[in-house]
Every structure is written in C-alpha cells, then in structure tokens.
A and B are shown apart, each in its own frame.
Chain A
Amino acid sequence: MKGVAADEDSPARGTRRALLAGARAAALAPALVLGASYVGFGSLVGAHELSLEFALFNTLTAWALPGQVVLVELYLAGSGVLAIVLAVGLANMRLAPMTVAMMPLVAAPGRPPWRLYASAFFVAVTCWAMTMAQAPNMARSDRLSWFIGCSLVLWGASLAGTVVGFYAAAELPAALTLALVFLNPVYFLLLFLQSTQGARDATRLVALLTGGALCVPAHFYSPEWSLLIAGLGGGTVAALYRVAMVRR
C-alpha cells in the first residue's frame, strides 16, 4: 500500500487527501467483512424483537462489536443496568491499551488535544490494526486523517450491516447467521497476523501468541477476568522479550 507523501500544497488539501486514502484502504475487503459481522449483530437484535432504532443507536454510540453483543445478550437474559455496564466495560477494556498504543503514532505537534479525544471514539479493532500497520509509512501530519477516513468507511459499513441483518433476520437461515457471527474472530485473527508483518521485531507476535495461549487457563480460573489476565501476562512476557532483544 502507498504511503501518503508529504507534499507542498495547502495543509487542508493534504488532510483531505489523507482522509480519502484512509477511506480507500477500508473500502472493499475490510468494509465487507466488518459489515458482514454487523449483519450478524443486526440479525441477533432482529431475531429477538428489539428495535432497529436501538441497534443503530448502539452501533452509533458504542461502536465496538464484542461489547455490543454482550449488551444485547445480557439485556435479553434480564440483567440489570449495573451488571450490563460492568460487563460491557470489562469486554471493552482492551480499547484502553489499544488507544494508548496508537496515540504516539497519530499525534502531531501543535494540534489541539480535543482532536485526539474526538478521534479516539473511532478506536476499534479493524481501523486500529490497519492504522498500526500503515501509519509508520505516512507523514506524521497525515496519520490522524487517514485513521478517520478509514474509520468513517468502516463505521458506515457497520451501520449498513446492522440494517441488512435486522431485516434479514427472519429470512436468513440460522446456519448463515452463525457463520456471520463467527466471521468476527476469524477476521481479527487474520488481521493481527497481517499487522505483525511490517513490525521491526517479533514483540507483537510474541504478545499475540502468549496472550492467546494464556486465555485458555485464565478462562478456567476466571471467565470474567480472563482477557485482562491474558493481556497483562502476555503483554508483560512480550515486553520482557523486547528488553532481552535490545540488550543483546
């Protein structure tokens, strides 16, 4: 993929070009696969006779699929608001280290901080992994715009997928709905594999492998905390690996 070259024309034009480049990177495959995952979400909502307005409201305001599925499943199971908030917060805790890791990459000197706080609303796995992989090849001033362009297309695809899934819920065979729900982890798996390729060393790969492996024993110890345990454990192992490699 081409980086966005820093050129001599006006900053506004450069920004628009980066925005469009990000949008183009997200169009087609990423938008289709994420959209299909959201067809799974929309049909989950439709099949249980919750409203389309609710499904769209949720995709608009809390765009992060695993947390959205937790919200719907717990609501249907009759959980209270407090229990739902805690479970969604726990399911989405990954967004904190993801955002931390992306900020130094996209922050440009002299830009007001509110832009970062506003953009952080779009930190979600797909556009995050794409930006982590592509941003190092771009001029610093273009990166945040590229990320936003990428996110807007994916967000739109998610909303469209939600609508399609909602109306198709009754028509879609149950087997297809299950396949669409399963797309999400498979897509993430391949995306992470891809995003480790441009890395300068194996730290990210070590983090992925140890985090994934630790998830299974951690789940038997505590299903609620398994992601955090595996993340802290795997991340620490990978950081130690990096320290050992740098010292060598």
Chain B
Amino acid sequence: MSAELGLYGAAVAAAAATYFWRGFGVAVGGRLDPNGLLFEWFAAVAYAILAALVVRLVVFPSGELREIALAVRLGACAAALGTYVLFGRSLFAGCFAAAAVIAAAASGVLG
C-alpha cells in the first residue's frame, strides 16, 4: 500500500516537474520577438538539446540496452540513416532497419 502511494506520489510529482517546463516555455516564449536573436537562440538550444538526447540514448543508454555493444548501436543508427535515404526519406523504413539490427544482435547476446 505505501509502495503504491509512493509510486503515485512520484508520478504526480513527475507530472508537475514535466509540465513546469512547458508552462515556463509559454510564459517566456509569448514575450519574445520571433525575429529576434534571443528567440533564435532558444530554438537553437532546443535542437541542440534534442540532438544531445539522441546521442545520450544511443551512446550512454540506461537499462538493458547496455548489453548491446556500442558498435552495434551505432551500426543500427547507420542502418536507419541508410535505409531512410534509400527508401525516399521514409521514417518507417529507417526505424524498421534499426529495430531489426538491434533485435538480431540482442537475440545473439541474450540467447
């Protein structure tokens, strides 16, 4: 029971922490001049953080993905990029290729 409470307490707090940044973004973003340099900077920071997030999820993953060698994870990304371009910029094809590489490698590692 207290474990459940702790879990939901954490989930409610996590939801608040998540919305906090979104609300902050509205408060600041509504006041900026969309042609100004400060706005450009915020947009660039957003793209840079997202790229960093992708790199972190691929290069320094948490959990069981760590069982998959870094070379395989990078190879899966390369396969995704190659397939994406080859199939006329298809997100679906690119994602499928990466998932196939990881699934094949994982069934080797995990048995």
- Which residues of A are at the interface with B, using a C-beta cutoff of 8 A? 29-30, 32-33, 36, 44, 50-51, 54, 57-58, 61-64, 66-69, 71, 73, 75, 81, 84-86, 88-89, 92-105, 107, 113, 116-117, 120-121, 123, 125, 173-194, 203-204, 206-216, 218-219, 223, 226-228, 230-239, 242-243
Cα–Cα, bound, A51→B64 (Å): 21
Known: A95-B18, A96-B24, A186-B77. A207 touches B47 (CB 8 A): yes
Cα–Cα, bound, A102→B65 (Å): 32
Q: How far is the CB of B2 from chain A (nearest CB, A)?
A: 12
Closest B residue to A209 using CB positions: B51
Interface size on B, as a range, is: 35 or more
Residues from chain B with a CB closer than 8 A to the CB of A120 are 19, 22-23, 25-26
Chain A's interface: helix, strand, loop or mixed, by majority?
helix
User: 8 A-B residue contacts at CB 8 Å?
Assistant: A61-B11, A102-B29, A103-B32, A182-B68, A189-B77, A227-B49, A228-B49, A235-B44
- Whether B64 lies near A174 (C-beta < 8 A) is yes
Binary CB contact string for chain B from 12 to 45 against chain A (1 if under 8 A, 0 otherwise)? 1111111111111110111011100101111111
Which single member of B55, B94, B107 contacts A186 (CB below 8 Å)?
B94
Known: A94-B46, A94-B53. A100 touches B32 (CB 8 A): yes
- Whether A185 lies near B92 (C-beta < 8 A) is no
Cα–Cα, bound, A63→B24 (Å): 16
Q: Most chain-B Cβ atoms within 10 A of its Cβ — which of A63, A93, A223?
A: A93
- Whether A175 lies near B103 (C-beta < 8 A) is yes
Which single member of B21, B43, B44 contacts A92 (CB below 8 Å)?
B21
Which single member of B8, B30, B53 contacts A103 (CB below 8 Å)?
B30
Q: How far is the CB of B102 from chain A (nearest CB, A)?
A: 4
Cα–Cα, bound, A192→B30 (Å): 24
Residues from chain A with a CB closer than 8 A to the CB of B104 are 175
Residues from chain A with a CB closer than 8 A to the CB of B24 are 96, 99
Cα–Cα, bound, A99→B31 (Å): 12
Binary CB contact string for chain B from 78 to 95 against chain A (1 if under 8 A, 0 otherwise)? 001100100001111011
Cα–Cα, bound, A81→B12 (Å): 10
- Whether A75 lies near B110 (C-beta < 8 A) is no
Q: Most chain-B Cβ atoms within 10 A of its Cβ — which of A33, A226, A239?
A: A239
Known: A99-B26, A219-B60. A29 touches B7 (CB 8 A): no
The verdict on B69 contacting chain A, using a C-beta distance below 8 Å, is no
- Whether B45 lies near A231 (C-beta < 8 A) is yes
Residues from chain B with a CB closer than 8 A to the CB of A32 are 92
Residues from chain A with a CB closer than 8 A to the CB of B76 are 182, 186
Which single member of A75, A204, A232 contacts B10 (CB below 8 Å)?
A75
Cα–Cα, bound, A64→B19 (Å): 10
Closest B residue to A102 using CB positions: B29
Which single member of A57, A105, A194, A230 contacts B49 (CB below 8 Å)?
A230
Closest A residue to B19 using CB positions: A121
